[in-house]
Structure 1
Amino acid sequence: MTTRSGFRDLVHGVLPEAKVIAEEGGATLYVWTDTTGARLIITTEGDLVRAVTTSYAGPLAARLADVRAADGGLAIAEIVDADDDVLAGVACELEELQLLGDTEDLPAGDACLVGLGRSVEVFDGPEEFLASDASRMTFAGEDAADETGEPMRFEPESFSPDGAFTMQVDAVARVNGTVLDVARHEVERTGQGFTAAQVRTGGFEMTLCVPTGEPDLVAGQVVAANTYLVASMPSLLAA
């Protein structure tokens, strides 16, 4: 695990290689991408590093619409399908947030949605997931039940944007989904390994990133993950 000072050295070390994507009010936004796809989104003001976000350069497998800035340096948006029908709302860190400006009626665009896994459980298939406590819905810390008293459960492929509709917006979500593909990487500068898994959930796909072995992921598994969400919408670069 990288120490705080080691991470600080990493950030300052990659800044000369990073790409500037926005400059506004004395602040500069950089994006650095490792050969593995690991990314750092760095905001500086003068010689000071103000913020750093970790992400991953995954496929553009989701589609975002009605993207707007929210409190806390976050963005809120709608995840839509190919016909622009709404699948879910979402709150996330958006790499290109500074490029939103006062734009209204922003066209829907393809996006990479990355979930940084905070806790992840894996199951051999939908049946095992549905029989587990991980599938139980809760409300205010209590199990939710239907009219017969049976516990209500998440579907094996379901997306719950827990932080999108709270009083204080937070870029967190519960992701239940099927693992489609798994790639294992090691960042050259740090020697740290991580797994990037493409996951189908809630009618779209996203990338789930976890440290190597936490847990081991295999295509065909069902995951139940609490995640922190980061998104990239390249069409904003040309807006």
Structure 2
Amino acid sequence: MERRLTAGTATVTGVTSNLDCIGLGVDDHAGMDRLVSIALRGAERLGQAGGVSVLRWQDPSGARLILGVRGNEVTDLLPSYAGEPGARLANVRAVNEDVVVADVLDEDGQQVTMLAAELEQRRLLPATGTVGGPACVVALGVDVTVWADDDAFAASDASLLGDGDEPGEAPPHVVEQGWPWPPRMAAESFISYGVFGEPEQARAYARLNGRVLRAQRKTVAVTGREFVAARVRTAGFEVDVCLPADATGEVPRAGSVIAGTVFLVASLPGVVTADGSPGKRSWLPWRR
């Protein structure tokens, strides 16, 4: 079976970075071949659209791979995690081949923010209109830091709204209003880069700062590698942040702050399969 990985990242190096966040990192193409082979043998079929079968494999640790398969070709692969619903999404719509954009609503149905993410069910979205509902949002921590508490985060350069360069003197209106200078982000704040700019160039990266509610170390059965899954509250929703175990030292405790750059993956369990049938177990022949 041919493997041509395109969804989520343009190269194997990029995929590996995201894979490391869920304990599925590989060292070379041979390792990727083995991982894909394992996934295909135990994958669940979510549906089919445009001649591509959408499969989902899940390790007992919760680490997931979403695969697109056309004939004997693996067309795309998306790392994910079996998180819990923590966001209410509305107007979920595809903006390019990989990324969807959605409104995030509060309990009263008011929009609190927007996010751009890769969606497990991306290929199964209806051709017209939008969908929504309770969603699991997973943040793969490609470049994040754990801070002991709000004060430690607020005192760090990680909380600066800008790029960390010398901000200069505070503008008159900032002084007049008594606002802090330089401007800093709150411990629960969120900026989704993919909702700005041209839709066809949108990617699923975001700057996420959030307070840890709970966290645990996970061991992946098929690799023996560990990762940390932390339930985190950010601006307007909760997310499962996954990151390599060696990136955190100790498991983050409740009340600490995770901050940095993440890659967002979402899952909408309510999206039905494109062929109208329920997901079922898939068997695929394996050929070299």
Residues 54 and 74 of structure 1: CA distance in aligned 2, closer, same or farther (over 3 Å) = same
Correspondence 1:136 to 2:167: no
Q: Which has the greater radius of gyration?
A: 2
> What does residue 172 of structure 1 align with?
205
Partner of residue 228, structure 1:
263
Which residue number corresponds to residue 237 of structure 1?
A: 272
1:142, 1:50 → 2: CA distance? Answer: 46
The one-letter code sitting in structure 1 at the alignment partner of 2:52 is: A
Any conservation in 2 of the 1:70–1:76 contact (CA below 8 Å)?
A: yes
Q: 2:129 aligns with which of 99, 104, 113?
A: 104
In the TM superposition, residue 234 of structure 1 has moved relative to its aligned partner by 0.3
1:53 matched to 2:73 = no
> What SS class does the counterpart of residue 235 from structure 1 fall into?
coil
Q: Contact (CA 8 Å) 1:43, 1:49: kept in 2 or not?
A: yes
CA contact (8 A) 2:212 2:253 kept: yes
Aligned position for 2:185: 154
- Greater strand proportion: 1
- Report if aligned partners of 2:231, 2:239 keep a CA contact under 8 Å in 1: yes
User: In the superposition, relative to structure 1, how do residues 142 and 7 fare at CA in structure 2: closer, same or farther (>3 Å)?
Assistant: farther
The count of aligned residue pairs is 238
Map 1:50-129; keep pairs closer than 5 Å: 50-106=75-131, 108-129=132-153
SS at match of 2:126: coil
* TM-score normalized with structure 2 length: 0.77
Q: Which moved more, 1:173-182 or 1:72-81?
A: 72-81
Alignment partner, residue 284 of structure 2: none
Tell me the amino acid that sits aligned with residue 265 of structure 2.
V
Q: Distance in 1 between matches of 2:203 and 2:66?
A: 18
Of stretches 129-138 and 193-202 in structure 1, the one that deviates more from structure 2 is 129-138
Q: Equivalent residue of 1:6, what SS? A: helix
How has the CA–CA distance of structure 1 residues 165 and 142 changed in structure 2, closer, same or farther, with 3 Å as cutoff? farther
Q: Which runs of 5+ in 1 are unaligned?
A: none
What is the percent sequence identity of the aligned residues?
39
Superposition CA RMSD, Å: 2.0
**TM-aligned CA distance change 1:132 to 1:179, over 3 Å:** same
TM-score, with structure 1 as normaliser: 0.93
| Structure 1 moving runs of 4+ over 6 Å | 139-142
Gaps of 5+ in 2: 1-24, 176-180, 277-288
